[in-house]
A and B are shown apart, each in its own frame.
Chain A
Amino acid sequence: MRYVVAVKQVPDTMEMSVDENGSLVRAGVPSVLNPYDEYALVKIRGIMDDGDELVVFTMGPPQAEAALRRCLQLGADRAYLLTDPAFAGADVWATARVLTAFIGKFEPGASLYIFGRQAIDGDTGQVPYEVAGLMGVRQFAYVDSLESDDDGILAVQDYGDMVRRVRVPEGSVVSFGSVDPNGVFPSIQDRLDAESKEIVRLDRVALGLGLYSVGLKGSLTRIVSTRTVTSARRNRKVEIRDPAKGAGFIIDELEALR
Chain B
Amino acid sequence: MSGCEGGSCSTCSTCGSDDPDRLPPGMLAAYNLNQSTADGILVWVETVQGPDGPEVAAVSAELLGAARKLSDGRVFAVVFGGLEVKPLYPQLFGYGVDTLYHVRGKGMETYRPEPYADCMASLVRRIEPATILMGATSRGRELAPRLAAVLGTGLTADCTGLTADRRRMVMTRPAFGGNLTADIECSKFPQMATVRQGTFPRPPVEEGVGTAIYWQYEPDCESGILSDEKVAESSEDIRDARILISLGDGIRDRSLIDVAESVASKVGGMVSCSRSLVERGWMPRSRQVGMSGRNVAPELYIAFGISGAVQHRTGMSGAKRVIAVNSDPDAPIHGFADLSLIADAGDVLREMDRALSKKG
Q: Interface of A with B (CB < 8 Å)? A: 14, 16-18, 22, 24-25, 91-93, 96, 118, 121-134, 138-139, 141-142, 154, 159-169, 178-181, 219-231, 233-241, 243-244, 246-251, 253-254, 257
Contact = CB atoms under 8 A, between A and B. Distances in A.
B4 interface: no
A166 B223 contact: yes
Contacts of A165: 225-229
Interface string B283-294: 001100001100
A250 B352 contact: yes
A247 B113 contact: no
A166 B226 contact: yes
B226 A243 contact: no
B41 to A, nearest CB: 17
Nearest to A243: B347
Contact of B175 (A18, A169, A235, A246): A18
Interface residues of B, number: 92
21 contacts: A16-B176, A22-B180, A92-B145, A133-B148, A133-B150, A138-B114, A139-B114, A142-B142, A161-B48, A162-B231, A165-B225, A165-B226, A167-B224, A180-B279, A220-B153, A220-B154, A220-B188, A238-B341, A243-B344, A246-B343, A250-B341
A227 B163 CA distance: 15
Interface of B: 48, 113-114, 117, 138-139, 141-150, 152-158, 170, 174-188, 221, 223-231, 233, 242-243, 267, 276, 279-280, 285-286, 291-292, 299-300, 302, 309-311, 317, 321-323, 325, 329, 334-344, 347-352, 354-356
A124 B340 contact: no
Given A167-B224, A246-B343, A250-B323, A226 B181 contact: yes
A249 B138 contact: no
Looking at chain B's contact residues, is the secondary structure mostly helix, strand, loop, or mixed? Answer: mixed
Contact of A126 (B114, B144, B322): B144
Contact of B176 (A93, A123, A229): A123
B311 A123 contact: yes
Contacts of B356: 251
- Which of A166, A244, A257 has the largest number of chain B CB atoms within 10 A? A257
Contacts of A179: 279
Contact of A224 (B183, B285, B336): B183
A238 B242 CA distance: 24
Nearest to B193: A221
Contacts of B143: 129
Given A141-B113, A222-B185, A129 B286 contact: no
Contacts of A180: 279
Looking at chain A's contact residues, is the secondary structure mostly helix, strand, loop, or mixed? Answer: mixed
Contact of A130 (B114, B148, B170, B321): B148
Given A165-B226, A235-B340, A132 B149 contact: yes
A101 B196 CA distance: 31
- Which of B177, B188, B344, B351 has the largest number of chain A CB atoms within 10 A? B177
A118 B141 CA distance: 11
What are the nearest 5 A-B pairs in CB distance?
A133-B149, A220-B154, A243-B347, A247-B351, A167-B224
Contact of B348 (A18, A227, A243): A243
B340 A132 contact: no
Nearest to B317: A229
Contacts of B170: 224
A108 B78 CA distance: 35
Given A162-B228, A223-B175, 9 more contacts: A14-B176, A16-B178, A93-B152, A169-B224, A224-B185, A226-B181, A228-B180, A235-B340, A251-B356
Given A93-B154, A126-B141, A236-B338, A229 B226 contact: no
A159 B117 CA distance: 17
Contacts of B158: 123-124
B113 A129 contact: yes
A228 B179 contact: yes
B338 A234 contact: yes
B138 A221 contact: no
B183 A225 contact: yes
A226 B173 CA distance: 10
A233 B138 contact: no
A243 B350 contact: yes
Contacts of A121: 176
A16 B177 contact: yes
A96 to B, nearest CB: 6
A236 B146 contact: no
A221 to B, nearest CB: 4
A221 B184 contact: yes
B263 to A, nearest CB: 9
Contacts of B154: 91-93, 219-221
Given A16-B178, A124-B158, A162-B228, A243 B145 contact: no
A250 B183 contact: no
Contacts of B231: 160-163
A132 B148 CA distance: 11
A132 B145 CA distance: 9
Contacts of A239: 329, 341-343
A226 B182 contact: yes
A243 B341 CA distance: 10
Nearest to A140: B113
Contacts of B279: 178-181
A104 B158 CA distance: 29
B251 to A, nearest CB: 13
